[in-house]
Amino acid sequence: MQQPSHSSRRQFLGLAGGAAVLGTIPVVTVHPAEATPAMLASAIQQVTGGAAVRTGKVKLDIPPLVENGNTVPMTVSVNHPMAPEDHVRSIHVFNEKNPQANIANFHLGPHSGRAQVSTRIRLADSQKIVAIARLSDGSFWSASVDVVVTLAACTEDVI
């Protein structure tokens, strides 16, 4: 009885490479979907559950003018105590035009020391950034900043 022939990985890659050279494999260009202000509102609604969001207590430190949207430094701090009975439970960051409206969620507790987070984000275009803090009493507080991006990120074609 004859054994079935199995193609090796090397043979497969060779055939696939040859097909690519001959142009028989289609090239797919993917453009990220752009979020909308309605998507921003929906993402905030999902986090807050429809509760009122007040302005204040939250400070969003992000440059108002960014040369390169690939790496934008951002710090969010909340002017609130971090005691066991009264503290910041979470900080959420949203954007208006990136493919995902909710770009960061940080969960805190009284042992966090202070309600402050720092990170870098990518921005596809000039847009509004919103930070919302949820306190242990269930209230929501926010701040927003309009950021102008001169060299957008997230817009290159993927092949």
| 102, two tokens | 């909710």
Are 136 and 53 in contact, with CB atoms under 8 Å apart?
Answer: no
19 sits in which H/E element: helix 9-22
Look up residue 108 and give its amino acid: L
Question: Rg of the chain over CA atoms, in angstroms?
Answer: 23
Q: Considering only CA atoms, which of 109, 58, 117, 57 is closest in space to residue 84?
A: 109
Domain count of the fold of the chain: 1
| 47, two tokens | 């986090």
Asked, for residue 75, whether it belongs to a domain, the answer is: yes
CATH code for the domain of 127: 2.60.40.2470
- What's the predicted TM-score (pTM) here? 0.74
Query: Would you state the pLDDT for residue 37?
Result: 81
Asked, for residue 32, whether it belongs to a domain, the answer is: no
Asked, for residue 79, whether it belongs to a domain, the answer is: yes
SS3 helix, strand, coil % of the chain, rounded to 5? 20, 40, 40
Percent of the chain, pLDDT > 90? 58
* Banded pLDDT at 117 (limits 50, 70, 90): very high
At 62-109, the pLDDT tens digits run 999 999 889 999 999 999 999 999 999 999 999 998 888 999 999 999
Asked, for residue 30, whether it belongs to a domain, the answer is: no
* Average pLDDT of the segment spanning 127-151: 95
Asked, for residue 158, whether it belongs to a domain, the answer is: no
Asked, for residue 80, whether it belongs to a domain, the answer is: yes
Structural domain containing residue 74: 37-151
Asked, for residue 54, whether it belongs to a domain, the answer is: yes
**DSSP bridge partners of 91:** 106, 133
Q: How far is CA 99 from CA 10, 15, 17, 105, in A?
A: 37, 36, 32, 16
At 41-53, the pLDDT tens digits run 999 999 999 999 9
Helix (H) and strand (E) counts for the chain?
A: 2, 9
At 123-136, the pLDDT tens digits run 888 999 999 999 99
Asked, for residue 4, whether it belongs to a domain, the answer is: no
Rounded Cα gap, residues 81 and 85, in angstroms = 9
